[in-house]
C-alpha cells in the first residue's frame, strides 16, 4: 500500500492521532512495537497561526518515528491553508485533515466531525489545502452526523475528487461519540466502489489481532488504524502483525515485561517533556499498563499521584516483585 510515494507495505497498521495520548514518547513506543504509520496529536489551525506554544510543540517530530503525519483541525479555509503550510515546514511525511473529532469543544464549534453538517465547507477546505501544499494530504472522518445522516460513501468520492491521497473512516457517527459498536459496513462499501482509487483505512473497535484479521478479510481495507486499544497496550501492533503472518497469538505480556516497558516510557516522557509534565502525562498510561491486577487499587493510587520520578521507579519495582507471577 502506498500513500503518494510512501510505501507502507502490505496490510499496514496505523497509530491513531489522539489528544494527550499520541505524543512523541508514546509514538516512539508504538513504533518500536511495529506501528507502520504515526500521527501527531491533532493540532488546532487557529492555535498554529497564532503561534500558540502548545500547538507549535506538537509539530516537533523525530526521525525514528517516520513515516509520520501531522493532523490539523479547524473550520476556516484560510486558517487551515496557513496551518497546512506551517506544518509542511516541519517536514512531516503527510498532512491529515481531522473531520472526525466528535468532542463538543471541536465538533460543537463546527470543526472536526462538525463539518459533517457542512459538507460543502469540508470539501472547500480539503481542496484548498491540497492545492496549497506539496505533501500528500489525507482525511480522517466518520460515517456521518447521526443514524439518519451517513453520507460517507458519496463523501468518499467527493474527497477523492478534491485530491486527497488516502481516507481513514471511523465506523461511528458523531452522535455515537465512542459508544456502541462501530459499523464497518459502509467502510466496506467505500472500498468496493469501483470509482475509489485511493487507499481506505478502517478505524474503530480493533482491539485484538483476531479482530484486525477479520476486518482486513471481511471489508478489504488497505490498512487498519488502532487508537484507544493501544493505550496501556502498545504491543498490540506486534501482536497483530505476528498473527497476520503466522496465525498464532503471541504470549501475553507479563507484569515484569510491563514494568520494564513502563520504565522505558517514563524515560522517554521525561526526556521529552521534563520532570513534572513528563510525570503528569504518564499517569493514565501507568494506570492502563497494570489493569486487572488483583488488589492493585492502593498501589495504583500511589503510582498515579506520585510526582518524584525516582519514587515512581521504586513503586514500579514493587509491582514487579509483588505481581511477578502475573
Q: Are 67 and 93 in contact (CB under 8 A)?
A: yes
Helix boundaries (H) for the chain: 24-32, 45-49, 53-57, 77-89, 104-107, 119-132, 152-161, 185-192, 209-219, 236-246, 255-273, 275-280, 283-289, 297-305, 309-322
- Phi, psi dihedral angles at 98 (to 5 degrees): -85, 105
Pair 228, 200: CB distance under 8 Å: no
Q: Rounded to an integer, what is the distance from CA 284 to the centroid of its chain?
A: 16
Q: Which of 90, 20, 25 is nearest to 272 (CA)?
A: 25
**CA separation, residue 147 to residues 116, 151, 175 (Å):** 13, 10, 8
Angle at 69 between CA 66 and CA 70, to 5 degrees: 130
Q: What angle do CA 42, 47, 48 make, to 5 degrees?
A: 80
With the C-alpha atoms ordered 18, 24, 26, 27, is the resulting torsion angle positive or negative? positive
Q: Which residue has the cell 506554544?
A: 53
What positions carry a catalytic annotation?
101
Among residues 115, 101, 202, 215, the alpha carbon closest in space to that of 158 is found at 115
Residue entry with cell 493505550: 231
Nearest of 6, 38, 10, 42 to residue 25 by alpha carbon: 38
Q: Note whether 14 and 36 are within 8 A (CB).
A: yes
Amino acid at each position: 500500500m502506498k500513500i503518494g510515494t510512501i510505501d507502507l507495505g502490505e496490510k499496514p497498521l496505523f497509530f491513531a492521532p489522539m489528544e494527550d495520548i499520541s505524543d512523541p514518547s508514546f509514538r516512539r513506543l508504538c513504533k518500536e512495537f511495529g506501528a507502520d504509520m504515526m500521527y501527531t496529536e491533532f493540532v488546532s489551525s487557529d492555535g498554529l497561526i497564532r503561534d500558540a506554544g502548545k500547538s507549535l510543540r506538537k509539530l516537533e517530530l523525530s526521525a525514528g518515528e517516520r513515516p509520520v503525519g501531522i493532523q490539523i483541525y479547524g473550520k476556516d479555509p484560510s486558517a487551515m491553508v496557513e496551518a497546512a503550510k506551517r506544518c509542511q515546514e516541519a517536514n512531516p511525511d503527510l498532512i491529515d485533515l481531522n473531520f472526525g473529532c466528535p468532542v463538543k469543544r471541536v465538533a460543537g464549534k463546527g470543526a472536526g466531525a462538525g463539518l459533517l453538517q457542512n459538507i460543502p465547507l469540508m470539501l472547500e477546505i480539503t481542496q484548498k489545502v491540497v492545492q496549497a501544499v506539496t505533501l500528500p494530504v489525507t482525511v480522517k472522518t466518520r460515517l456521518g452526523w447521526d443514524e439518519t445522516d451517513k453520507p460517507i460513501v458519496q463523501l468518499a468520492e467527493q474527497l477523492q475528487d478534491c485530491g486527497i491521497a488516502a481516507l481513514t473512516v471511523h465506523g461511528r457517527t458523531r452522535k455515537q461519540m465512542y459508544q456502541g459498536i462501530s459499523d464497518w459496513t459502509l467502510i466496506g462499501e467505500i472500498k468496493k466502489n469501483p470509482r475509489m482509487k485511493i487507499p481506505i483505512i478502517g478505524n474503530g473497535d480493533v482491539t485484538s489481532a483476531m479482530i484486525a484479521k477479520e476486518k482486513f478479510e471481511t471489508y478489504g481495507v488497505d490498512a487498519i488504524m488502532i487508537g484507544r486499544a493501544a493505550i496501556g497496550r502498545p504491543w498490540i501492533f506486534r501482536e497483530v502483525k505476528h498473527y497476520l503472518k503466522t496465525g498464532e497469538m503471541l504470549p501475553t505480556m507479563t507484569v515484569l515485561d510491563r514494568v520494564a516497558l513502563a520504565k522505558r516510557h517514563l524515560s522517554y516522557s521525561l526526556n521529552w517533556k521534563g520532570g513534572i509534565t513528563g510525570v503528569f502525562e504518564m499517569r493514565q498510561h501507568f494506570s492502563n499498563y497494570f489493569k486487572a491486577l488483583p488488589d492493585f487499587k492502593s498501589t495504583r493510587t500511589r503510582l498515579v499521584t506520585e510526582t518524584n520520578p525516582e519514587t515512581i521507579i521504586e513503586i514500579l519495582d514493587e509491582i514487579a516483585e509483588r505481581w511477578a507471577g502475573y
